[in-house]
Chain A
Amino acid sequence: MLFRGEGVEVVKEKVKSLEVYEAGPMLTFSMGPQHPGTGHFRMIITVVGDTVVRCDPDPGFVHRGEEKLCEYKTWITNIPHLERPAILDAAGMIYPYVLAVERLMDIEPPERAKYLRVIMAELQRICSHLYWLGLMGVFAGHATIYMWCFGDREYLVDLTQLIGGQRITHSYFVPGGVRNDAPSKVPKELVKDFRRYYRMMLGKDYPGGEVPEDFRKYVLAVCEFFDTRLDEYYPMLLDSPLFIYRTRGVGILKREDAISLGVVGPVLRGSGVKSDTRIDEPYDAYPYLKFNVPTMDGCDSYSRIMVGYYEMRESVRIIKQAVEQMPEGPVKLKQHPVTIKVPAGEVFASAEAARGQCSYYIRSDGTDKPYRVKICSPSFRNLIAIPHLIKDVRIADIPIIYWSLNYWPVECDR
Chain B
Amino acid sequence: MSILRDVKRTLMPIYSGLKHVFLKPYTIKWPYERVPNLSDEGYRFDPKTGIGYPGNKGRHLLYMEKCTGCGSCDLTCQNIAEAITMTYGFDVVIILDENCYEAFKGSKPEIVKALDVILSSFSAEPSNIQYNSLSSFFWTLTGVKQVTKVDGGYEIKLSLEPIFDVRAVEVLYQKIYPAVERLKATGWELRKLEVTTESTSVELSKQDFTINILIRKIDMGYKHNRRSLFPSIDYGRCVMCGLCVDACPFQALEMTSEFELSAISRRELIYTPTMLAKRPEEFNITGVPPELNVIERMRMVFRRIIW
Contact = CB atoms under 8 A, between A and B. Distances in A.
Decide if A and B are genuine partners: yes
A337 B45 contact: yes
B246 A337 contact: yes
A197 B247 contact: no
A1 interface: no
Contacts of B9: 235, 239-241
Name the prevailing secondary structure of the B interface residues. Answer: loop
A341 interface: no
B37 A236 contact: no
Contacts, number: 131
Contacts of B81: 80
Contacts of B199: none
B38 A166 contact: no
A179 interface: yes
Interface residues of B, number: 44
A170 B54 CA distance: 11
Contacts of B12: 235-236, 239-240
B53 A180 contact: yes
Nearest to A234: B12
Contacts of A187: 36-40
A201 B26 CA distance: 9
A144 B45 CA distance: 43
B76 A338 contact: yes
A103 interface: no
B239 A80 contact: yes
Given A151-B26, A171-B243, A77 B80 contact: yes
Nearest to A154: B37
Contacts of A158: 37
Nearest to A187: B39
Contacts of B57: 165-166, 170
B89 interface: no
A357 interface: no
A377 B45 CA distance: 32
A396 to B, nearest CB: 20
Contacts of A330: 49, 51
Contacts of A80: 80-81, 239, 241, 243
Given A187-B39, A235-B16, A240-B13, A338 B243 contact: yes
B243 A161 contact: no
Given A179-B51, A240-B12, 18 more contacts: A165-B255, A169-B241, A171-B241, A180-B53, A181-B54, A190-B39, A193-B36, A199-B23, A203-B19, A232-B16, A236-B16, A241-B9, A331-B51, A332-B50, A334-B49, A337-B243, A338-B76, A338-B243
3 closest Cβ contacts across the A-B interface? A180-B52, A77-B79, A337-B246
B240 interface: yes
